[in-house]
């Protein structure tokens, strides 16, 4: 059996899962999405992701024509029909079909798409030896243009940053805001450790408040007894950090050992980072909404 895609209440073969060329998600990036993970038959932090999805939709005046409970059941049903215990879930809500103009009120009904498949952003070797990343010139969208808190389908800003990183043969790109403060990477939040303290940029600097980010901050306090601070910091603070790592649904927790050709710490994943990777992986296999009962 081939992969099934949930589209507007129906399960459709992957080869036949299509949207209209008049869908405003395609034409204008008018829509929102979430990336979610399932581990060992459990969907990790599903309600947190769905609540953020609905917040993003409300922020752009997009009404999702399902309750959060109905959407939760649809996610579970899509995993079940594909018999996936370990999966990446992409949940997409578009404005729906309209005309070639911008007016969202001319769109008929939002499109709801759920894709469940495998994902591997980085080879396992990078979790052991660490990433080499760079700061790029593409700046993060500011709150007075498009709020980074909205997880929208318009990711061109992040894609341009990713292109810069690839041109530098780096695995990820650090994006600064208009004032020169560190925000996040193209698809991950960033953390540094200095003298045993865990630091990460505050949400107001222009970041998406990641689900994995929040989880790791709690783990650092509860399991490692670390002091965790949300503070503004610059490239200087990254270069002089003892450790650095990234977090995200796809990336999970992954170490960084070089930034802009500066070696971080001793050039190897740090002890706190290694412990957080271990604690996070234990959590993902023990918590979550059960798929197969």
One pLDDT digit (tens) per residue for the chain, 293 residues: 689 999 999 999 999 999 999 999 999 999 999 999 999 999 999 999 999 999 999 999 999 999 999 999 999 999 999 999 999 999 999 999 999 999 999 998 999 999 999 888 899 999 999 999 999 999 998 878 888 899 999 999 999 999 999 999 999 999 999 999 999 999 999 999 999 999 999 999 999 999 999 999 999 999 999 999 999 999 999 999 999 999 999 999 999 999 999 999 999 999 999 999 999 999 998 888 889 86
293 in a structural domain: no
88 and 224 in a common domain: no
Domain boundary among the residues 83, 117, 151 is at 117
275 and 137 in a common domain: yes
Number of structural domains, the chain?
2
162 and 63 in a common domain: no
Q: Taking each helix axis as running N to C, give the angle between helix 46-59 and helix 211-222, from 0 to 180 degrees, rounded to the nearest 10.
A: 140
204 and 89 in a common domain: no
| pLDDT value of residue 141 | 87
| CA distances to 77, 89, 105, 107 from 20, in Å | 24, 22, 17, 12
253 and 131 in a common domain: yes
Please tell me which residue in 10, 151, 162, 282 is annotated as part of the active site.
Answer: 151
Range of the domain at 82: 4-117
Yes or no: say if 98 and 28 are a contact pair by the CB < 8 Å rule. no
236 and 128 in a common domain: yes
289 in a structural domain: no
259 and 221 in a common domain: yes
292 in a structural domain: no
245 and 141 in a common domain: yes
Biggest alpha carbon distance in the chain? 57
Tell me whether residue 151 is one of the annotated catalytic residues: yes
| pLDDT value of residue 60 | 97
- Which helix (H) or strand (E) element contains residue 272? helix 271-284
291 in a structural domain: no
CATH number at residue 253: 3.20.10.10
Domain boundary among the residues 102, 117, 132 is at 117
Domain boundary among the residues 89, 117, 145 is at 117
228 and 267 in a common domain: yes
For residues 56 and 61, what is the distance between their CA atoms, to the nearest angstrom?
A: 9
Instruction: Find the angle CA(110)-CA(206)-CA(71) to the nearest 5 degrees.
Output: 30
132 and 75 in a common domain: no
163 in a structural domain: yes
238 and 100 in a common domain: no
162 and 253 in a common domain: yes
């Amino acid at each position: 059996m081939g992969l099934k895609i949930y589209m507007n209440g129906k399960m459709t073969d992957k080869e036949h899962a299509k949207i209209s060329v008049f869908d405003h998600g395609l034409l204008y990036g008018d829509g929102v999405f979430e990336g979610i993970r399932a581990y060992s038959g459990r969907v990790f932090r599903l309600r947190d992701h769905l609540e953020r999805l609905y917040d993003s939709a409300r922020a752009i005046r997009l009404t999702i024509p399902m309750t959060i409970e109905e959407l939760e059941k649809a996610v579970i049903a899509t995993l079940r029909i594909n018999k996936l215990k370990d999966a990446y879930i992409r949940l997409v809500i578009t404005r729906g079909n309209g005309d070639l103009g911008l007016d969202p009120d001319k769109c008929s009904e939002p499109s709801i798409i759920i894709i469940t498949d495998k994902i591997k952003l980085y080879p396992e070797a990078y979790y052991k030896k660490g990433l080499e990343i760079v700061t790029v010139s593409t700046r993060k969208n500011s709150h007075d243009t498009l709020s980074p808190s909205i997880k929208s389908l318009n990711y061109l800003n992040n894609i341009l940053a990713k292109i810069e990183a690839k041109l530098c043969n780096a695995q990820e790109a650090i994006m600064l805001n208009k004032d020169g403060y560190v925000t996040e990477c193209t698809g991950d939040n960033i953390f540094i450790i200095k003298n045993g303290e865990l630091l990460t940029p505050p949400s107001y600097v222009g970041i998406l408040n990641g689900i994995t980010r929040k989880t790791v901050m709690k783990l650092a306090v509860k399991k490692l007894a670390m002091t965790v601070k949300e503070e503004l910091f610059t490239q200087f603070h990254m270069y002089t950090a003892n450790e650095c790592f990234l977090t995200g649904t796809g990336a999970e927790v992954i170490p960084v050992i070089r930034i802009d050709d500066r070696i971080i710490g001793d050039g190897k994943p740090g002890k706190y980072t290694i412990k957080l990777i271990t604690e996070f992986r234990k959590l993902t296999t023990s918590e979550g909404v059960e798929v197969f009962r």
